[in-house]
Amino acid sequence: MYIISIPPKARGLTEGVMLNWQVSEARSVEKGQLLGRIEAFGQLVDLECPQSGELLKILVGPGKPFYGTQPLAILGQKGEDVEKALKKLFPKAVAKPAPEQKAAPVQSAPQPQQPAKQEVKPMEKKSPAGKVVPILMPQAGQTMEEGTLLSWKVKEGDKITAGQVIFEIETDKATMEVEAMESGNLAKIVVAEGQSVPVKTPVAYLADSAADAEAFIASHGGIAVPAPKTTQAPVPQTDTKQAAPVSQPVSQTSAGQVKASPAARKLASEKGLDITSIGQGSGPGGRILSTDLAGAKPVAYTPAVPGDFVRYPVSKMRKAIAQNLSYSKQNIPHFYIKLTIEAQAIFNLYKQLKQKFPCSVNDFITLACGRTIRQYAAFRSQYTPTEIVENPSVNIGIAVGTDKGLTVPVLLNVDRMTLPQLAAATRQMAENARNGKVEGVGQGVFTITNLGMFGVEEFSAIINPPESAILAVGAIREDIKVENGSIKPTRVMTLSLAADHRMIDGVLAAQFMVTLKDMLEKPEQLVG
Amino acid sequence: MTEHYQIAVLGAGPGGYVAALKAAQMGAKTAIIEKHHLGGTCLNYGCIPSKALLASAELIHKIHRAGDYGINVSGGVSFDWTQIQKRKDKVLTKLRGGIKSLFGARKVTLYAGQAAFSGHGKIQITDSKGEKSLITADKVIIATGSVPARIPGWPTDPAFVCTSDESLHWKELPKKLLIVGGGVIGCEFACMMHEYGVEVTIVELMETLLPEMERQVGVAIAEIFSKRGMKIHTGVKVEELKTVHGGIKAILSGDKTVEADKVLVATGRRPATGDLGLESIGLTTDRGFIRVNDRMQTVVKDVYCIGDANGRCLLAHAASAHGVAAVEDALGHGKDFTLPIPGAVYTFPEIGTVGLTSRQAAEKDIPVKVGQFPIGFLGKAMAVGEEEGFVKVIRHRDSGALLGVHVLGHNATEIIESATAMLGLKASAAELAEMVFAHPTLGEAVKEAAEDSFDQALHLPPRSLMKITAEAKEIK
């Protein structure tokens, strides 16, 4: 048998880490075959087999470091006794103890609708001497944290046999009988009837004598015996004298943030896990590490995050808007007429004119409204129970949204303006409104409100008292029309009129809209 | 009329004095008892004097290289050993005074004398005149430290066979020095004595110098020392030592002989707990070490042990950390002490290390990935002419957890602090690799090495693939 190592003369290769083995133990290998790869400083080294045979044993596994010509593996012939070689190579080596016997699995109790008697085998721990065996409060169910010992079926000094029911417990879910895992002498009972203890706490000991059991208890640092419960309520206690509850308070920094490493946060966010569901992490001060995420719950979807309500004082503007528009909605009988007009002409004209002076499509609408309102006196009149009041001036309010709220500055005598005049006046007025300077308030007879710049196609507005109507303007949008049996692309815009039926009737409103439509579809009239 | 204290500390070394200051800071009435100088081994016979002597030695070493920097030192270099010792003594005096004034400021009561238990909570103090007094205390912290071990059977004349206690305060330098023990103390002494013109031979039992540390570090420092002219024998034992006229003669395994004026025994230290009256409180020791748990509690209630005396980690900063842990527990705020403790070796180039070595990781069956970066590749290293050494980062192969960092290089003892901090926070090697390190510094090599552990170091070319045929050696 042969030791496989890196050749002593390998330049620069004084130590390394086995990255992987390409051949498993007990496999035959040929001369020149790739055995495995080594990571070293500045190099990856493919290690080739020097002679054919069988790879009897790998001594330095993947991820393990080695130094110099340290033996990496043993090569030999099939059937050779590799233990002999190991003894020669490592005469002082002590065999690693076999992994500890895992405790017998507990049958998890099914969740009964009513408390039912279930049988549960307690978890056993083998003591090193083998003579004193603690009997533990079983964990019957993943979420069980403690159980109440209802009654003992045996007493100290009894000989018990494996499988015998020795006590009865109550958890928050069920009452269960507990069987003994081993036969023996029940030397000492340490948890009395009615007592509640955390899961996996010893409740009694099997031993030759009570003295043995007591010595065992003493050598294991004594047992923390919780005070007996006075009631039999199944609700688990939250006293701190019990063992620490399973979920501990989340460790937080003074800023209220959960203490977690950046790697843990990143991993949790990538996997959609809620980092606050972990409780204490295994890092310093309970810091959550990326290795702690195994127990994390997925982030819960909370449809409404109530949070704390914030209270602000009501501004004057808000109060005014609330008052006016509440009055309007409650007292004015609104009705609505919607008309979609062909906007290609106005669009083209706008494009043309804005080269000459700054203007907007809304300016055309305002001017058109101005001229139409001059014609239709009802649209500049106000209904009162006693009389109708007609305003000779066509004063149109333009709704402007500011970050404080809605204001409606008013352009006076729109019907007497030319388009350029109107455009300039609107511009100035909007500017002033945004700076808090609002003119002509209260003098308007009609309001135009335009949400087209947001892409809104149409909407219904609320009449601004003491006015009798309001026009809501939508965006110019592309559409298709049918003309002489053929389909043509075009541009349209939807206008929605809200009118006070006390003042204006349906037919009149319709006529108003048709006039408006005409003017806007043949906008040359506006410029002339 | 015995004074009663909440906390009594036995020993005023780095463990004891820090514990006393901490206790006083936390509001406890504190007493501290010290039989010699304040500051213990660290201040008087260890850390501080050795660093002072090493500083002078390093300057000599650097002046020899002045030509590299374009500096002419005509006439060569000479040194005045008496002056060097005087300078060292001044540092010691200043520091002792510093501790004393800190005690005064915090109202810690200092007793000069030998302390011994005379029952639970009772400490008897015997002063230099033999006068005895008694104090009582609620809790006692034993911080009596350790002394250098001598080898049984060897001549004990301190003129010839010395330990660090004597060698740091030699009035005259030997011409030839045999250093037995290639650990931290042995290496530091070898390094400095060589610069003072002493012919140095180191004999180490294990295969490499600094056998507890990362193997590569021990091998590298041995190479550096050998190149300078020191003689290194590893894997070799001193079978016999005897005094011959004017000096000593040692016979090593394999029949090699070494002759020298003096021998420095630097094979280890043993705890100084023999004369504390521990029987009166029923406290037994494990070969002199008083065993404690992670809160520095001994098995006897209200008695703690910190520092070298408990054997957990024979380093001054470990003792101080233990001291704080013990005081916090004694005053009701205890928590388990589990932080990583860095190691520092003040040879030139220095060594800084924290966490697991490759061998320790292998013993724990942890799969690793190793990153490495040579100091000499750094701009700063080249610019200041300190190109020796490397940084090695060991991480967990699967989880990426940082396991260990080992630095050989100029200022390694400062460089290691960032790695210790990251290890203490249980950071991953990836987090370390992400951090921004100032440029140009030597510390940058830590970042590069961490990156290399992911095959991502930017200042290294990608690993090249090489094929070699394994060697088969017959097992006889």
Residue of B428, B467, B475 with shortest CB distance to A263 = B428
Is A330 found in the same domain as A449?
A: yes
Helix or strand or coil: residue B371?
strand
pLDDT surpasses 80 at B329? yes
Contact (CB<8Å) A89/B428: no
Q: Would the CA dihedral through B225, B231, B237, B242 be positive or negative?
A: negative
Give the residue from chain A lying closest to B394, CA to CA. A65
pLDDT surpasses 70 at A227? no
Residue of B361, B426, B473 with shortest CB distance to A289 = B426
Residues of B within 8 A of A69 (CB-CB) are 471
In terms of Cβ atoms closer than 10 Å to its own Cβ (0-12, 13-18, 19+), residue B451 is buried
Residue among B4, B64, B333, B439 flagged as catalytic? B439
Nearest by Cα to B294 from B350, B257, B334: B334
Q: What is the pLDDT of residue A177?
A: 80
Q: Compute how many other C-beta atoms are within 10 angstroms of the C-beta atom of residue B220.
A: 22
Neighbour-count burial for B122-149, b at 16+ CB within 10 Å, e otherwise: bbbbbeeeeeeeebbbebbbbbbbbbbe
Contact (CB<8Å) B475/A283: no
Interhelix angle B14-25/B316-330, rounded to 10 degrees, is 30
Q: What is the pLDDT of residue A173?
A: 58
Contact (CB<8Å) A284/B476: no
Is A431 found in the same domain as A491?
A: yes
Confidence of residue A290 (pLDDT cuts 50, 70, 90): confident
| Upstream peptide bond of A262 is cis (omega within 30 degrees of 0) | no
Contact A31, A49 (CB under 8 A): yes
Nearest by Cα to B366 from B399, B405, B339: B399
For residue A252, tell me if it sits in a domain: no
DSSP for B82-103, written as a single string: HHHHHHHHHHHHHHHHHHHHHH
Is A491 found in the same domain as A446?
A: yes
Is A402 found in the same domain as A347?
A: yes
Per-residue pLDDT tens digits for A114-125: 433 444 444 443
> What is the DSSP code (8-state) at residue B377?
G
Q: How far is residue A71 from each of residues A68, A153, B209, B397, measured CA to CA in Å?
A: 9, 61, 22, 22
B contact set with A (CB within 8 A): 215-216, 219, 338-339, 358-359, 361-362, 366-370, 372, 397, 399-401, 424-428, 430-431, 460-461, 463-476
Per-residue pLDDT tens digits for B312-325: 999 999 999 999 99
Q: Helix, strand, coil proportions of chain A in percent (round to 5)?
A: 25, 30, 50
Contact B414, B446 (CB under 8 A): no
Give the residue from chain A lying closest to B337, CA to CA. A284
pLDDT surpasses 60 at A246? no
Q: What is the pLDDT of residue A448?
A: 96
Give the residue from chain A lying closest to B391, CA to CA. A41
Contact (CB<8Å) A63/B470: no
Is A322 found in the same domain as A272?
A: no
| B396 beta partners | B368
Contact (CB<8Å) A284/B369: no
CA gap B339, B347 in Å, rounded: 25
Residue among A158, A479, A501, A518 flagged as catalytic? A501
B61 tagged catalytic: no
Sheet holding B161-162, edge to edge: B161-162, B262-265, B176-180, B199-204, B231-234
Residue of B400, B425, B463 with shortest CB distance to A284 = B425
Is A328 found in the same domain as A468?
A: yes
From chain A residues 199-258, the ones with a CB under 8 A of any chain B CB are: none
In terms of Cβ atoms closer than 10 Å to its own Cβ (0-12, 13-18, 19+), residue B115 is buried
- Identity of residue A456: V
Higher pLDDT, A491 or A237: A491
Is A145 found in the same domain as A190?
A: yes
Q: What is the pLDDT of residue B369?
A: 95
Is A84 found in the same domain as A135?
A: no
Lowest model confidence (mean pLDDT) among A188-192, A335-339, B198-202:
A188-192
Residues of A within 8 A of B338 (CB-CB) are 284
Contact (CB<8Å) A48/B468: yes
Contact A366, A381 (CB under 8 A): no
User: Residues in chain A, how many?
Assistant: 528
The CATH number of whichever domain residue A172 belongs to comes to 2.40.50.100
pLDDT surpasses 80 at B216? yes
**Complex prediction ipTM:** 0.81
Q: Which of A23, A67, A282 is the best substitution to test chain B (most B C-beta atoms within 10 A)?
A: A67
The CATH number of whichever domain residue A486 belongs to comes to 3.30.559.10
Q: Is A42 on the interface with B (CB under 8 A)?
A: yes
* Mean model confidence pLDDT for chain B: 95
Q: Would the CA dihedral through B319, B320, B326, B329 be positive or negative?
A: negative
Nearest by Cα to B34 from B128, B118, B129, B136: B128
Contact (CB<8Å) B471/A4: yes
Confidence of residue A219 (pLDDT cuts 50, 70, 90): low
Higher pLDDT, A338 or A182: A338
Is A372 found in the same domain as A269?
A: no
Interhelix angle B81-106/B14-25, rounded to 10 degrees, is 20
CA gap A498, A10 in Å, rounded: 93
For residue A212, tell me if it sits in a domain: yes
Give the residue from chain A lying closest to B374, CA to CA. A41
For residue A340, tell me if it sits in a domain: yes
In terms of Cβ atoms closer than 10 Å to its own Cβ (0-12, 13-18, 19+), residue A480 is exposed
Contact (CB<8Å) B368/A1: no
Residue of A62, A89, A289 with shortest CB distance to B367 = A62
| Averaged pLDDT, A58-62 | 93
For residue A10, tell me if it sits in a domain: yes
Within 13 Å and on the Cβ side, how many CA atoms surround B454? 19
> What is the DSSP code (8-state) at residue B375?
G
Per-residue pLDDT tens digits for A92-101: 765 554 433 3
Give the residue from chain A lying closest to B425, CA to CA. A284
Helical H runs in A251-360?
A: 262-271, 316-331, 344-353
Give the residue from chain B lying closest to A60, CA to CA. B362
CA gap B125, B113 in Å, rounded: 6
3-state secondary structure A112-149: CCCCCEEEECCCECCCCCCCCEEEECCCCCCCCCEEEE
Within 13 Å and on the Cβ side, how many CA atoms surround A152? 18
Chains A and B form CB pairs within 8 A to the count of 129
CA gap A250, A259 in Å, rounded: 8
Contact (CB<8Å) B473/A88: no
Start-to-end CA distance of chain B, whole Å, equals 76
Residues of A within 8 A of B215 (CB-CB) are 15, 67
For residue A241, tell me if it sits in a domain: no
Is A190 found in the same domain as A64?
A: no
CA gap B231, B228 in Å, rounded: 9
**What counts of helices (H) and strands (E) characterise chain B?**
13, 24
CA gap A303, A232 in Å, rounded: 39
For residue A177, tell me if it sits in a domain: yes
Contact (CB<8Å) A7/B367: no
In terms of Cβ atoms closer than 10 Å to its own Cβ (0-12, 13-18, 19+), residue B106 is middle
Q: Is A280 on the interface with B (CB under 8 A)?
A: no
CA distance B86 to chain A (A): 44
DSSP for B272-325, written as a single string: --TTS-GGGGT---BTTB----TT-B-SSTTEEE-GGGG-S--SHHHHHHHHHH
Is A337 found in the same domain as A400?
A: yes
Per-residue pLDDT tens digits for A144-192: 777 888 889 898 888 888 878 899 887 665 677 888 888 888 988 988 8
The values of phi and psi at residue B17, to 5°, are -70, -35
Q: What is the pLDDT of residue B301?
A: 92
Nearest by Cα to B435 from B427, B447, B425: B447
Bridge-based pairing state of the strands B464-469 and A43-48: parallel
For B460, the token pair is 């290294």
Residue of B216, B399, B468 with shortest CB distance to A291 = B399
CA gap A397, A394 in Å, rounded: 10
Contact (CB<8Å) A65/B219: no
Contact (CB<8Å) A6/B471: yes
Residues of A within 8 A of B391 (CB-CB) are none
CA gap B344, B375 in Å, rounded: 17
| Averaged pLDDT, B241-262 | 93
A505 tagged catalytic: yes
- Identity of residue A179: E
Residues of A within 8 A of B216 (CB-CB) are 14-15
CA distance A212 to chain B (A): 23
Nearest by Cα to A55 from A76, A79, A82, A37: A76
- Which residues, 6 or more positions from B404, have their beta carbon under 8 angstroms from its beta carbon? B214, B353, B354, B355, B356, B357, B358, B360, B361, B392, B393, B394, B423
Q: Which of A15, A31, A287, A288 is the best substitution to test chain B (most B C-beta atoms within 10 A)?
A: A15
Is A481 found in the same domain as A431?
A: yes
Full residue range of the structural domain in which residue A425 is found: 316-527
Contact (CB<8Å) A15/B463: no
Contact (CB<8Å) B428/A51: no
Helix or strand or coil: residue A12?
coil
Per-residue pLDDT tens digits for B50-106: 999 999 999 999 999 999 999 999 888 999 999 999 999 999 999 999 999 999 999
Q: What is the pLDDT of residue A273?
A: 85
For residue A14, tell me if it sits in a domain: yes
Nearest by Cα to A247 from A257, A236, A255, A232: A236
Confidence of residue A105 (pLDDT cuts 50, 70, 90): very low
Residue of B219, B368, B470 with shortest CB distance to A48 = B470
Per-residue pLDDT tens digits for B6-60: 999 999 999 999 999 999 999 999 999 999 999 999 999 999 999 999 999 999 9
Q: Which of B464, B473, B474, B476 is the best substitution to test chain A (most A C-beta atoms within 10 A)?
A: B473
Task: Report how many domains make up chain A.
Answer: 4
- Which residues, 6 or more positions from A469, have their beta carbon under 8 angstroms from its beta carbon? A379, A446, A463, A497, A498, A499, A500, A503, A504, A509, A512
Bridge-based pairing state of the strands B269-271 and B146-148: antiparallel
For residue A171, tell me if it sits in a domain: yes
For B442, the token pair is 């030597």
Residues of A within 8 A of B474 (CB-CB) are 1-3
For chain B, domains (ranges, CATH) are 3-148+270-330 (3.50.50.60), 161-267 (3.50.50.60), 343-452 (3.30.390.30)
| Averaged pLDDT, B347-366 | 95
Contact (CB<8Å) A5/B473: yes
Greatest mean pLDDT among A11-20, A136-145, A462-471 lies in A462-471
CA distance B259 to chain A (A): 32
From chain A residues 69-98, the ones with a CB under 8 A of any chain B CB are: 69, 72, 74-75, 85, 88-89
| Averaged pLDDT, B241-256 | 92
Q: Compute how many other C-beta atoms are within 10 angstroms of the C-beta atom of residue A101.
A: 9
| Upstream peptide bond of A91 is cis (omega within 30 degrees of 0) | no
Confidence of residue A229 (pLDDT cuts 50, 70, 90): very low
CA gap B369, B340 in Å, rounded: 20
Confidence of residue A126 (pLDDT cuts 50, 70, 90): very low
CA gap A424, A430 in Å, rounded: 10
